[in-house]
Amino acid sequence: MKVHLFLKRYLAALNQYKWAGLASFACISAIAGAIAPRLPETTHLAQAKLLYKPAVEATPATGTQPAAQKLIPGPESLMSDQLLQQTSDALEAKDQSIAPNELRNRIKLEKDPKQENQILIRSQDSNAEKAKLIVESFVNTVSNQNLASKRREVEASLKLLGQRRGLLEKNLRVAEEELREFGRQEKPAIQAAIDGSLVSAITTIQQQQRQLRQQLQGTDAEIASLQNQLGMTPQQAYVASALSADATIANLTTKIADIKSQVEVQRRELQPKHPDIIALQQQQQVNEVQLQQRVADIAGENNGISSIQTVALRRVSSLDKARQDLANKLVNLQTQRDRLAQELGILSRSEPELRRNYQDGTELKLEQEKLTKEVVRYRETFDQTEKQLAAAELKKAETRSDWVSEGTPQAKEISNWWLNRPVILLAGGVLAVLIAGTTVLLLDVLRGRLLIPEEVQAILKQRVPFLGVLPHIPKQAGQKTPVLIRTDSPYLNAYELLRSSLNRHGQSQPLKMVVLSSTRKSEGKTIAAYNLAIASARAGKKTLLIEADLRASSQVQALGVATHESAESGSLIESMQIESVQPAPHIKNLFVLPSSSCVEQVTEALESSQMQELLKLARDKFEFVVIDATALRFSDALLIEPHTDGLILVTRPGYTDRSSFKIVIEKLTEFSDIKLLGVVMNNVTTSHKHAHLLSL
């Protein structure tokens, strides 16, 4: 936007928001006038130097050594809320009541660029003693707060070390008691594992086991050899030896042999069924049963010999002297082997137990060493904590503040020439003008309204004609819509210019039917439509004004035209007909078609065949037709526009939204089927100054 356009817009904004600007100007001027008498023309400046000298701390291990370099606090760290509150409390104790927020404004801190650890503290007041008291209280508060903070740290460390010392002492006592109790209970086992008696016993048992295994191997070899010679197991040899030594078995065996001999002799002379032979066989069976019973009694189930084996054992029951000696030797070797195996089993069971005892003793010894180390560790930590406690106590006694004041505050007098009344009033006036101007600009930006015709022309950018600037028409007494009924009205010329401009933009043929709309309500489209129709009628053209805003009440009363009952009944067929056209009683050649404001389906009514027929008849019977449509927030005007010669968009300074207007222009110019005849600005107070903007 160019400079001259900006200046014009600013002047328009100043006129639009003059009351807000005047209120801002008056408020700032009143404030300047109120504070001018209260500010002293001379003040006193008190100042003092505060040095940061951190104390040298002692380390427990190496004694006193320089501490690590600390970061020097900046002035902003000293202006904490807590420190200011403490300074305020200190001043309150000295009968000087100053709030912390006020102290923040009155105390100024500045770091010395040549000496980084030095801060200059300043304060101004009309009273020199009060200024020095503020500086002195602030310096003392900084020093005392730092000292208190360091002491709190040391005391917290002492408390923590004391708690740690008590816990370590308790743990040390518990560990020592556990070590003593463990030594009393496990000393024998540990001693046995240490002196080697268990190791010697384990070695002896291992040697005995090896010897017994060797003896078992030799015995097993002899048993295997005797088994091969006798053809029987040691158990069988034991049973056979027992059977051979039994007299009953020997007697029964002899009887059975004698009977068998007699049977063989008798069979040579007698038949097999002879009674003597049968008697001998029965006697033999009886003896055999007795023999079998006797064998079963000696080598029965108790010895692991079954009844089937009993018959075989009977066959070997009669051993000779040599075989019987071998059988007895086999039995003795088996008995010897069982004894050796039993001894080996006892030793095998004893060795793991001794090994467990040795392992337990070793583990107990390790556990004892572990407990001993734990006691030593607790004792060392306890002694170290004792040393740290002593060092902390010494540090507490030597604690001092890191901030040191150099001397007492000094005050000097300062002449504040710029605080005299005329200067303050002048500065207040200048500031009031700036704030008032800024307020106007801010309101203009926030509201975003069109204010001057040049703005409209700049937005149109010659894409759409700027048709005219319509003047502000004051309302007469009792007049709702300001219409130009009088022929000598000075405002009628502007509408004549608008009508002429429309005729020039009619291209090959003059315009006969136009529709007027706006981006929003209250922009004056109805006033523009009425007065444009009046201007056309005054020019001698038969003119028709159609109220197509079916969403608002009719305004034809302003022309002295009474609405029909049919128009108020809501019947579109009865109201929106060419027969419903009425002449304006005070204006020649002007006819009006009032709207029916009670139509429920507005869109359906505007797209109906009755409306199209009405517009067609109006074009045929009248020389110029002006249609007052609704704002573009509804689609009514765009539904009527295709049946007319084009659309005129009405704007109003201070009402039309700038961004909405830009969007509407962009959209309307994009549509090739919508003919935008141009834009007019209504209700302009200085319309005669903008004649050069018209698109001629």
List all residues 6 or more positions away from 679 whose beta carbon is below 8 Å from its beta carbon: 456, 460, 464, 465, 466, 467, 648, 649, 650, 651, 665
Q: Full-prediction pTM beyond 0.85?
A: no
- Please count the other Cβ atoms lying within 10 Å of the Cβ belonging to residue 497: 19
Eight-state DSSP code of residue 114: S
Which of 298-302, 367-371, 521-525, 595-599 ranks highest by mean pLDDT? 521-525
pLDDT digits (tens, 9 = 90+) for 276-326: 888 888 888 888 888 788 777 776 544 544 444 544 444 445 567 777 777
**pLDDT score for 218:** 86
Name the residue with higher pLDDT: 116 or 144. Answer: 144
- Between the CA atoms of 504, 506, 512 and 516, what dihedral angle is there, to the nearest 10 degrees? -80
| Longest Cα–Cα distance in the chain | 193
Which of 53-57, 260-264, 530-534, 562-566 ranks highest by mean pLDDT? 530-534
Amino acid letter for position 514: V
* Pick among 3.40.50.10240, 3.40.50.2300, 3.30.300.130, 3.40.50.300: CATH of 449-693: 3.40.50.300
Which of 605-614, 618-627, 669-678 ranks highest by mean pLDDT? 618-627
Q: Which of 161-175, 347-361, 493-507, 651-665 has the lowest mean pLDDT?
A: 347-361
Q: Give the model's confidence band at 570: pLDDT under 50 very low, under 70 low, under 90 confident, else very high.
A: very low
Q: Enumerate the domain spans of the chain.
A: 1-41+417-447, 42-236+345-415, 449-693
Size (the chain), residues: 696
Q: DSSP labels for 579-590?
A: GG-EE-TTSTTE
**pLDDT score for 568:** 43
Residue 275 has pLDDT above 80, yes or no: yes
Q: Give the model's confidence band at 70: pLDDT under 50 very low, under 70 low, under 90 confident, else very high.
A: low
Where does 196-269 have alpha helices with state H?
A: 197-230, 234-244, 247-269
Residue 353 has pLDDT above 80, yes or no: no
Mean pLDDT, the chain, rounded, equals 79
List all residues 6 or more positions away from 280 whose beta carbon is below 8 Å from its beta carbon: 259, 262, 263, 266
Q: Give the model's confidence band at 516: pLDDT under 50 very low, under 70 low, under 90 confident, else very high.
A: very high
Distance spanning both ends of the chain, measured CA to CA: 24
Q: Please, what's the b/e burial string for 524-555 (b: 16 or more CB within 10 A of its CB; e: otherwise)?
A: bbbbbbbbbbbbbbbeebebbbbbbbbeeebb
**Best CA proximity match to 243, nearest among 301, 322, 305, 297:** 297
Name the residue with higher pLDDT: 642 or 271. Answer: 642
pLDDT digits (tens, 9 = 90+) for 629-646: 988 888 888 889 899 989
List all residues 6 or more positions away from 203 whose beta carbon is below 8 Å from its beta carbon: none
Residue 29 has pLDDT above 70, yes or no: yes
pLDDT digits (tens, 9 = 90+) for 221-250: 888 888 888 777 887 777 777 777 777 877
Report CA-CA distances (Å) from 266 to 104, 255, 259, 465: 155, 16, 10, 169
